[in-house]
């Protein structure tokens, strides 16, 4: 029994690491743009398919992730500029609703191009690494390593670069940032592009393990949102923490109540968090 | 009508007929004329809701004027937007939320020098020297500073792009009398280095002792203008804007907070 629980926790750690990538993107966009962008569902799917095509065309894993990042980022920027940011002036809610519509549009565009059939990345088969009774596949380790490297890069950019600091400043206090010469519209564009780029990479990373179809992003939307809310909307370290907790809780829930209730974990987490600690575990610490 | 009778001639800031507010339909500043000469300290006082802070925000570009002109260093800046105006050498220190709370003191200063990265290092060193407290706290998150320390940081951020004019919105609001007094000292010292200052102050009497000239803003328009010392003695001004029976207030120079005084008068 202990073995099964530990195996579930290890699986949760892996899926939490992968989930952290789009959750960082989602929470960073919220911090700067001030609305929850639910188009992450469609963008994650788009990123997964873009990466799939690139990988199929012979690119290495890292190269395919770059393609997923750029395609998803460009699409995210386009939808923000055309559909979401004009609505933000009316409030966060209209923009959030518009973003749900964008997600549906993207999902169906992918369906139009690729149909409903699931597709798998053709990755070389490798023997699982075993530690006692715990198993991890080398592929899981590879995607986990890529996700961790990406997260470190995001943290380094936010902590040490001029543009990263300007983004944090703009998220912290937009008026003061603009008084200091940081152009809010430029920061917003960077947030849209990089945030959705991370979401696209996340879609691909999470799709690598199983198969992808037009609903890939929709299935992880709730987990992404729950991770961000759990850590505190707008907090990048919070999103990482939230992603690990959601990842592990989802795996453990499969043991406790069966896989058909897995999706409920996110809902319960959001409900509990909003009731008990609405600002999230880490509040709004920007990084 | 033009309040140009006295004071220095060549203006750093020249505001004529400025109008505007938070929404087009709701004008708070209704035709303000005001000017600041290089190196001057000018106080803007008046009752609550007179539009003092709104006026500063209109000048700094945080709000878009609906009419009038703002000339800064002989260049029209009305409606240019905050980043451009601050690039021109005008730094605004808001009353609230005037630091980046989640960022360290050092990062706050860096953001202050965002536009002029080439000089940032030198200016930071200078500011650390002038305000050793900031050097001691350079790694601390700005939200952990005390009220007085935060005001110093807010001003230091504004000084990072070497402005010719500082706009201060109620710099002493919420400070203890001692901290307020210290801050006024700092403002005077800054002014001594050649920076002109336009400040809104609730603490009207204190402001009038620090400033060279002052305007009294009523319902969106400057109604009185003159040398600060004269205004402090003017019975109409005292009656209307310094809280009525002003004699006991004037006599008291211990820096009692204006809120307290107002409370006593009502």
pLDDT digits (tens, 9 = 90+) for B11-29: 899 999 999 998 877 888 9
Q: Which of B160, B227, B229, B171 is nearest to B197 (CA)?
A: B171
User: Quick check: A188 contacting B, CB < 8 Å?
Assistant: no
More confident of the two residues A210 and B89 = B89
What burial letters (b/e) apply to B115-153, b meaning 16+ CB within 10 Å? beeeebeebbeebbebbebbeebeeebbeebeebbbbbb
Which among A169, A173, A286 has CB closest to B97? A173
Token pair in block for residue A106: 């993207």
| pLDDT band at residue B159 using 50, 70 and 90 as cut-offs | very high
The ipTM assigned to this model is 0.84
What is the DSSP code (8-state) at residue B22? S
B84 vs B223, residue with greater confidence:
B84
Instruction: Check residue B242 and give its pLDDT.
Output: 57
pLDDT score of B17: 92
CB contact under 8 A, B103 and A179: no
Nearest beta carbon to residue A172 from set B82, B102, B157: B102
Does the pLDDT at position B251 exceed 70?
no
Cα of B22 to nearest chain A Cα, Å:
14
Strand partners, B35: B14
CB contact under 8 A, A175 and B94: yes
Asked if B82's CB is within 8 angstroms of A179's CB, the reply is yes
Question: Candidates 3.30.160.100, 3.30.160.620, 3.40.50.300, 3.40.50.1000; correct CATH number of B13-99+163-265?
Answer: 3.40.50.300
Cβ contacts of residue A112 below 8 Å, gap of 6+?
A: none
Q: What digits encode the pLDDT tens for the residues A18-75?
A: 999 999 999 999 999 999 999 999 999 999 999 999 999 999 989 999 999 999 999 9
Please state, in angstroms and as integers, the Cα–Cα distance from residue A63 to each residue in A14, A282, B9, following that order. Answer: 21, 33, 65
Token duo for residue B240: 């209307």
**Interface residue B131 vs chain A (CB under 8 A):** no
Average pLDDT rounded to a whole number, residues B125-139: 95
In this predicted structure, the answer to whether residue A180 has a pLDDT above a threshold of 70 is yes
Q: What pLDDT is recorded for position A284?
A: 60
How far apart CA B147 and CA B177 sit, in angstroms, is: 12
pLDDT number for residue A256: 86
The token duo for A125 is 């088969």
Residues A15, A220 contacting (CB under 8 angstroms): no
Q: Give the separation between CA B89 and CA B73, rounded to whole angstroms.
A: 9
Rounded to the nearest angstrom, the gap between the alpha carbon of residue B213 and the centroid of all alpha carbons in its chain is: 13
Band of residue A76 on the pLDDT scale cut at 50, 70, 90: very high
Q: Which of A165, A168, A176 to mutate to test the interface with B (most CBs of B within 10 A)?
A: A176
Q: Domains of chain A, with CATH numbers?
A: 2-113+134-276 (1.10.3470)
Is residue B253 pLDDT above 50, yes or no? no
Average pLDDT over residues A219-248: 93
* Ramachandran assignment for A59, one of left (phi > 0), alpha (psi -120 to 50 degrees), beta (any other): beta
Q: Which of B83, B94, B160 to mutate to test the interface with A (most CBs of A within 10 A)?
A: B83
Task: Locate the domains of chain B by residue range.
Answer: 13-99+163-265
- Decide: A171 and A238 in contact? Cβ < 8 Å: no
- A185 touches B at CB < 8 Å: no
């Amino acid at each position: 029994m202990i073995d099964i629980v530990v195996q579930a926790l290890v699986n949760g750690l892996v899926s939490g690491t992968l989930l952290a990538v789009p959750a960082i993107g989602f929470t960073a966009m919220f911090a700067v743009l001030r609305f929850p962008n639910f188009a992450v569902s469609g963008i994650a799917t788009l990123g997964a398919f873009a990466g799939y095509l690139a990988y199929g065309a012979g690119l290495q894993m890292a190269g395919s992730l770059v393609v997923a990042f750029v395609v998803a980022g460009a699409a995210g920027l386009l939808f923000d500029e055309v559909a979401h940011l004009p609505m933000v002036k009316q409030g966060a809610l209209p923009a959030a609703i518009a973003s749900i519509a964008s997600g549906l549009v993207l999902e169906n565009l992918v369906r139009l191009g690729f149909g409903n059939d699931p597709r798998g990345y053709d990755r070389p088969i490798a023997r699982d690494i075993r530690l006692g009774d715990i198993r991890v596949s080398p592929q899981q380790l590879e995607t986990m390593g890529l996700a961790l490297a990406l997260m470190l890069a995001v943290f380094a950019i936010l902590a040490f670069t001029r543009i990263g600091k300007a983004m944090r400043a703009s998220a912290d206090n937009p008026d003061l940032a603009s008084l200091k010469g940081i152009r809010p519209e430029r920061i917003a564009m960077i947030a849209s592009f990089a945030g959705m780029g991370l979401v696209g990479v996340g879609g691909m990373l999470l799709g690598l393990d199983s198969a992808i179809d037009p609903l890939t992003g929709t299935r992880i939307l709730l987990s992404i949102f729950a991770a961000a809310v759990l850590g505190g909307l707008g907090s990048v370290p919070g999103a990482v923490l939230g992603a690990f907790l959601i990842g592990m809780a989802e795996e453990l829930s499969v043991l406790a109540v069966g896989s058909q209730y897995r999706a409920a974990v996110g809902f319960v987490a959001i409900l509990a968090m909003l009731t008990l600690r609405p600002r999230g575990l880490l509040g709004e610490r920007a990084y | 009508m033009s309040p140009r009778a006295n004071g220095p001639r060549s203006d750093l800031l020249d505001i004529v007929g400025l109008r505007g507010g938070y929404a087009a339909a709701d004008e708070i500043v209704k035709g303000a004329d005001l000017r600041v000469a290089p190196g001057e300290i000018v106080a803007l006082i008046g009752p609550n809701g007179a539009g003092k802070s709104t006026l500063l925000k209109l000048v700094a570009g945080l709000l878009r004027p609906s009419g009038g002109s703002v000339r800064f260093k002989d260049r029209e800046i009305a409606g240019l937007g905050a980043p451009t105006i601050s690039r021109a050498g005008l730094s605004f220190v808001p009353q609230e939320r005037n630091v980046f709370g989640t960022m360290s003191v050092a990062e706050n200063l860096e953001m202050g020098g965002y536009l002029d990265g080439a000089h940032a290092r030198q200016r930071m060193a200078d500011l650390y020297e002038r305000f050793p407290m900031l050097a001691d706290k350079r790694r601390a998150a700005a939200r952990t500073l005390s009220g007085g320390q935060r005001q110093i940081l807010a001003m230091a951020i504004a000084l990072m792009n070497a402005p010719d004019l500082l706009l201060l919105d109620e710099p002493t609001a919420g400070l203890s009398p001692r901290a307020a007094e210290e801050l006024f000292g700092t403002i005077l010292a800054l002014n001594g280095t050649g920076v002109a200052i336009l400040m809104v102050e609730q603490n009207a009497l204190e402001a009038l002792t620090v400033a060279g000239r002052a305007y009294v803003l009523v319902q969106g328009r400057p109604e009185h203008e003159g040398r600060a010392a004269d205004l402090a003695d003017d019975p109409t001004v005292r009656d209307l804007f310094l809280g009525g029976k002003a004699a006991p207030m004037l006599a008291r120079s211990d820096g009692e907070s204006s809120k307290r005084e107002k409370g006593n008068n009502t």
